[in-house]
């Protein structure tokens, strides 16, 4: 065997079977499981040897090195060892075998036995030859046979000394983690993490400590594990700042290397300068070979690259989105990642509720957790004095379901900014991204109903079971049941349950004939013992409620023409949510107050793009685990990103997807993701797409706060819109910008009295972007083109109407979308609002996806044939048909978004006509007739047609098409909308509103 590594032919072989991704952690401790689970090698397991280099004989006395080339299925790696390493290994294995024979108890009654059918004879270590080239071939064959024999015996193959010898661990042969990388023991220095608010000089030994760890380098990350327990104690994701430093002058001490990334500066110590050079060069070479995509600064400054041929799908409104999320969750096999600004565990994902609680979110997650799927949930930890999300209740509810469900809340000490992403990731292969939280009020469809007064009951099976257990005497006489129930005979000998227990509370006047059954029984002094109210402490002591028991009363919930149960029926401008720990009790009167419809957009992507979404979640999860002491327990494991090399191996795909080019974008910073430099790739993408659009842009967004003055506002989206319109005007080209945004901000407040200070503060900055002040879009356009701006720029809202208990009602449709469509070929969908909070990267954390079509279909643009993108065109057509009423009236043509006929005769005419009719019938707010608070009282004093002439009002409302209404640009234009001095809204920084 040769003494020089470069000339030594390798010894080749395989080790043990490949392992699935799900075997990474023990379900209780959160630690990695044992390394090679196979008790014996498969029958096809064998080693193949390469003939030795006979010109370079072994020289054991001089520390000859042996290069061993290992192969296990798809995994290949090389191990370099000296003769002394073989001697040390043999000694350790002999000691291990001897210890296995030592009894475990003093009575010598229990002995550890060798595995069944295990060959007790340990192979002998071949002795070195004395520089005899003629025996080099036999020497190498002896070493190969020696290793072969050891690796065939589980007693030795699974022993830690053997695994260290061949550089293998429990993470070596996981297919989804990519190729086997570098592994081995290192000394690592503590510290170096980029955690805001925590700094240490690190210049003295008292500031850090050295620890021995097992280092693993994979194709997209490196990690190290504790030597005693095998628990993963740190994960570093590769990024554009990743580099290796080995300069002794920079390190201040010799034999050390520094591994830098956006999240940490990790220092490793080696036994010698040569060892340090080997580790540094090996890591650098491996990462450059397998991880080059992560080391680049991608388009828009994103952490993720553009991915081609990605199956993608859009969603308009929550109905179809939540249905696909439910089906994807049900198909999960390994992991589920969820992060939301707000999450309601009891939300129904499929409606109406016709299958009990099967499709309730908490029930789905519990069911999957019981099947062994690991569920990881990250919730925004709100300031309770400012927001009533009660994320603490959501966390407790989910954690109690199963030990496989892990929930984090973050942040603790960041008071102004929020985690705003809405992400659901299945097995790191399917990722839902958009603006829809899995929370109350978000489920809706294209009808945008205002009313929902259907009934809610226990299932017939539950009723029958309860009736059987509480059945009355055969003669039909009544009696009190020991559980507080009451039955009667219907005259046909069939016992039916009248009112066994409390049903969920429906607020408001219920339309029933006479007294309720419960009232009748109480009238005759028949009392019920059950009390559905219990405080949180009692619930914690009694344990979690059964998932099939939403009311805590032992039955499943079924709906009859009911879509929104309990807290899900909401109108948050009328009244914000309260008592979220009682999810099925109404908090507004659904018989007098219409709900506020919810218009939203989301998407789903697969493959490599889904891996990138998962990578963002993993980075946030691991950072939170490191930063918050309460999550450092092994029960909250570090998460590992799957390799992009296996991303195309789809086990599940959402139906009806369109292949497109996709890139994941985000807003992230040190406080939200623990990275050195903030990322604002969503903002950059918005500006780029607007500037490079040729025909039109269509925007739906919850906020519209832009036009930078570099004092209060910094994002440049509004300026990009104005500049692009001015460019089209100067070139004499047709170009349109459509903006759809809520008529009022989504804060509690009575608009009939001017709304609250929070509503007015957001209105101030919205109007500042639209038409008030010299920096507004319309002001910039007027300077260049006068009143011709109206031919280019349109801002609208959405409104609808219905009949509630015999009277006409209207309500705005809350636009919660965060979407841009350009030229029917490019789409941005995500969680980012058009404001500084979402766009600047240093504030709220966000995720979005930009989809660029690769498949085209024949369309029309400005009257000319046009090849439109299949994804973008279908999404734009659905949005236009929904808000313009084209689904109900097929004569409305929305195919050409640029033609003057569509812009003036369809878009502008529809929004103007609808706004005029609603003004006439309801005298609704906001309205351009109300210029200040002094005008408000007089405006409201004059009744609309809904009160003066209901018949005529019905006739007028028949002229309404769709939901689109003109935005009231002059509403309160003479009023100072900034928070008044002394109010709590005036105390908070201006950045909160922008």
Is residue 599 among the annotated active site residues? no
Is residue 816 among the annotated active site residues? yes
Q: Which helix (H) or strand (E) holds 487?
A: strand 487-489
Q: Coil, strand or helix: which one is 439?
A: coil
Is residue 427 among the annotated active site residues? yes
Torsion angle, CA of 425/430/434/438, rounded to 10 degrees?
Answer: -50
Q: How many whole angstroms separate alpha carbon 688 and alpha carbon 301?
A: 12
Q: How many whole angstroms separate alpha carbon 724 and alpha carbon 727?
A: 5
Cα radius of gyration rounded to whole Å, the chain: 34
Instruction: Say if residues 480 and 473 touch (Cβ distance below 8 Å).
Output: no
Is residue 193 among the annotated active site residues? no
682-703 b/e (C-beta count within 10 Å ≥ 16 → b): bbbbbbbbbeebebbbbbbbbb
Is residue 695 among the annotated active site residues? no
Query: Half-sphere exposure (CA, 13 Å, Cβ side) for 919?
Result: 16
Tokens of residue 571, six digits: 């109108």
Q: Is the dihedral of CA 721, 722, 728, 731 positive or negative?
A: negative
Nearest to 631, CA basis, from 955, 829, 381: 381
Q: Which of 313, 567, 606, 818 is catalytic?
A: 818
Q: What is the DSSP string of 327-393?
A: HHHHH-SSEEEEEESS--TT-BSSSS--STTTTBHHHHHHHHHHTT-EEEEEEE---TTT----HHH
Tokens of residue 701, six digits: 């967004």
Residue for token pair 């972007």: 769
Q: How many whole angstroms separate alpha carbon 911 and alpha carbon 919?
A: 12
The distance from CA 101 to its chain's CA centroid, rounded to whole angstroms, is: 52
Instruction: Say if residues 470 and 464 touch (Cβ distance below 8 Å).
Output: no
Q: Which of 437, 499, 823, 862 is catalytic?
A: 823
Q: Which of 72, 368, 419, 420 is catalytic?
A: 420
Q: How many whole angstroms separate alpha carbon 616 and alpha carbon 668?
A: 9
Residue 285: Cβ within 10 Å count? 12
Cis preceding linkage at 930, omega within 30: no
Q: Which of 448, 599, 816, 881 is catalytic?
A: 816
Instruction: Say if residues 897 and 736 touch (Cβ distance below 8 Å).
Output: yes
Q: Which of 140, 319, 419, 422 is catalytic?
A: 422
Q: Which of 427, 568, 586, 670 is catalytic?
A: 427
Q: How many whole angstroms separate alpha carbon 450 and alpha carbon 73?
A: 60
Angle at 628 between CA 626 and CA 632, to 5 degrees: 60
Q: How many whole angstroms separate alpha carbon 52 and alpha carbon 3?
A: 12
Q: Is the dihedral of CA 904, 907, 909, 912 positive or negative?
A: negative
Residue for token pair 């017939």: 460
Q: Bridge-partner residues for 868, per DSSP? A: 857
SS3 content of the chain, % helix, strand, coil (to 5): 30, 20, 45
Nearest to 365, CA basis, from 453, 289, 281, 438: 438
CA distances from 294 to 125, 241, 527, 858 (A): 44, 9, 68, 37
Please enumerate in sequence order all residues whose Cβ is within 8 A of that of 665, keeping only pairs 6 or more positions apart, or say none: 300, 302, 304, 681, 682, 685, 828, 830, 847, 848, 849, 850
Instruction: Say if residues 294 and 239 touch (Cβ distance below 8 Å).
Output: yes
Instruction: Say if residues 450 and 802 touch (Cβ distance below 8 Å).
Output: yes
Backbone angles phi, psi at 885, to 5 degrees: 80, 20
Is residue 818 among the annotated active site residues? yes
Nearest to 873, CA basis, from 883, 859, 884: 859
Q: How many whole angstroms separate alpha carbon 631 and alpha carbon 407?
A: 10
Q: Coil, strand or helix: which one is 282?
A: helix
Catalytic residue positions, numbered: 420, 422, 427, 816, 818, 823
């Amino acid at each position: 065997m040769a003494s020089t590594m470069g000339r030594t032919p390798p010894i080749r072989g395989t080790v043990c079977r490949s392992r699935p991704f799900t075997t990474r952690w023990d379900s209780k401790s959160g630690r990695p499981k044992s390394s090679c689970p196979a008790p014996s090698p498969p029958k096809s397991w064998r080693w193949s040897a390469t003939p030795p280099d006979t010109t370079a004989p072994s020289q054991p006395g001089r520390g000859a090195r042996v290069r061993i080339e290992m192969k296990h299925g798809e995994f290949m790696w090389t191990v370099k060892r000296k003769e002394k390493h073989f001697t040390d290994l043999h000694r350790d294995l002999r000691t291990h075998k001897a210890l296995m024979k030592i009894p475990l108890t003093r009575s010598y009654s229990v002995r550890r036995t060798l595995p069944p059918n295990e060959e007790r004879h340990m192979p002998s270590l071949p002795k070195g030859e004395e520089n005899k080239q003629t025996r080099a071939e036999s020497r190498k064959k002896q070493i190969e046979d020696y290793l072969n024999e050891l690796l065939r015996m589980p007693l030795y193959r699974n022993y830690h000394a053997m695994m260290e010898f061949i550089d293998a661990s429990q993470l070596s042969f996981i297919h989804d983690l990519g190729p086997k990388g570098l592994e081995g023991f290192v000394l690592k220095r503590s510290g170096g993490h980029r955690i805001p608010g925590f700094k240490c000089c690190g210049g003295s030994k008292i500031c850090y400590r050295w620890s021995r760890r097992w280092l693993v380098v994979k194709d997209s990350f490196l990690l190290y594990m504790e030597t005693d327990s095998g628990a993963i104690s740190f994960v570093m994701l590769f990024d554009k700042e990743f580099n290796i430093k080995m300069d002794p002058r920079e390190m201040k001490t010799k034999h050390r290397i520094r591994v830098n990334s956006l999240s940490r500066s990790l220092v490793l110590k080696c036994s010698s300068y040569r060892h340090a050079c080997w580790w540094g060069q090996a890591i650098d070479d491996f990462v450059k070979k397998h991880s080059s995509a992560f080391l680049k600064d991608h388009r828009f400054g994103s952490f993720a690259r553009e991915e081609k041929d990605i199956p993608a799908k859009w969603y308009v409104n929550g109905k179809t989105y939540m249905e696909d999320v439910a089906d994807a969750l049900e198909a999960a096999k390994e992991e589920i990642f969820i992060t939301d600004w707000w999450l309601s565990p009891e939300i129904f994902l499929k409606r109406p509720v016709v299958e009990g609680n099967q499709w309730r979110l908490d029930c789905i997650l519990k069911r999957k957790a019981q099947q062994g799927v690991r569920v990881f949930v990250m919730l925004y930890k709100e300031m309770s004095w400012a927001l009533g999300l009660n994320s603490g209740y959501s966390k407790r509810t989910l954690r109690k379901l199963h030990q496989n469900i892990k929930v984090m809340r973050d942040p603790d000490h960041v008071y102004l900014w929020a985690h705003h992403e809405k992400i659901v990731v299945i097995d790191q292969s399917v990722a839902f991204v958009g603006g829809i939280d899995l929370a109350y009020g978000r489920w809706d469809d294209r009808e945008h109903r205002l009313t929902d007064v259907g009934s809610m009951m226990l299932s017939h099976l539950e009723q029958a079971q309860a009736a059987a257990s509480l059945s009355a005497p055969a003669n039909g006489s009544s009696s009190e049941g020991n559980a507080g129930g009451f039955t009667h005979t219907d005259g046909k000998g069939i016992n039916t349950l009248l009112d066994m227990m409390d049903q969920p509370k429906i607020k408001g006047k219920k339309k029933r004939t006479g007294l309720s059954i419960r009232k009748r029984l109480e009238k005759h002094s028949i009392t019920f013992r059950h009390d559905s109210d219990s405080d949180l402490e009692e619930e914690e002591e009694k344990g979690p409620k059964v998932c099939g028991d939403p009311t805590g009363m032992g039955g499943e919930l079924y709906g009859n023409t009911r879509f929104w149960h309990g807290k899900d029926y909401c109108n948050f401008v009328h009244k914000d949510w309260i008592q979220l720990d009682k999810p099925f009790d109404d908090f507004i009167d659904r018989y007098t107050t219409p709900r506020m419809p919810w218009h939203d957009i989301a998407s789903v992507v697969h493959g490599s793009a889904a891996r990138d979404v998962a990578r963002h979640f993993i980075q946030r999860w691991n950072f939170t685990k490191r930063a918050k002491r309460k999550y450092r327990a092994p029960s909250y494991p570090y998460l590992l990103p799957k390799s992009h090399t296996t991303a195309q191996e789809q086990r599940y795909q959402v139906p009806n997807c369109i292949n497109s080019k996709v890139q994941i974008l985000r807003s992230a910073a040190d406080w939200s993701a623990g990275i050195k430099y903030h990322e604002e790739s969503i903002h950059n993408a918005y500006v780029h797409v607007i500037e490079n659009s040729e025909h039109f842009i269509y925007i739906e967004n919850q906020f519209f706060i832009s036009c930078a003055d570099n004092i209060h506002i910094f994002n440049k989206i509004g300026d990009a819109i104005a500049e692009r319109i001015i460019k089209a005007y100067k070139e004499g080209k047709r170009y349109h910008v459509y903006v759809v945004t809520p008529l009022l901000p989504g804060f509690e407040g009575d608009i009939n009295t001017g709304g609250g200070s929070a509503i007015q503060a957001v209105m101030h900055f919205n109007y500042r972007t639209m038409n008030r002040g010299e920096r507004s879009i319309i002001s910039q356009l007027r300077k260049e083109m006068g009143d011709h701006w109206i031919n280019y720029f349109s801002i609208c809202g959405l409104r609808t109407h219905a009949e509630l208990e015999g009277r006409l009602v209207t309500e705005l449709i809350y636009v919660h979308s965060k979407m841009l469509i350009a030229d029917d070929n490019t789409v941005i969908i995500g969680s980012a609002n058009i404001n500084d909070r979402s766009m600047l990267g240093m504030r709220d954390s966000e995720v979005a996806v930009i989809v660029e079509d690769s498949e085209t279909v024949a369309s029309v643009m400005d009257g000319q044939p046009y090849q439109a993108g299949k994804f973008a065109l279908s999404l734009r057509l659905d949005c236009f048909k929904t808000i313009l009423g084209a689904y109900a009236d097929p004569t409305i043509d929305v195919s050409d978004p640029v033609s003057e006929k569509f812009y003036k005769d369809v878009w502008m005419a529809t929004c103007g006509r609808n706004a005029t009719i609603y003004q006439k019938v309801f005298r609704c707010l906001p309205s351009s007739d109300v210029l200040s608070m002094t005008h408000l009282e007089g405006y409201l004093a004059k009744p609309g047609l809904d009160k003066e002439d209901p018949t005529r009002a019905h006739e007028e409302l028949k002229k309404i098409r769709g939901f689109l209404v003109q935005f009231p640009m002059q509403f309160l234009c003479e009023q100072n909308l900034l928070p008044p001095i002394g109010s709590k809204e005036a105390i908070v920084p201006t950045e909160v509103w922008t």
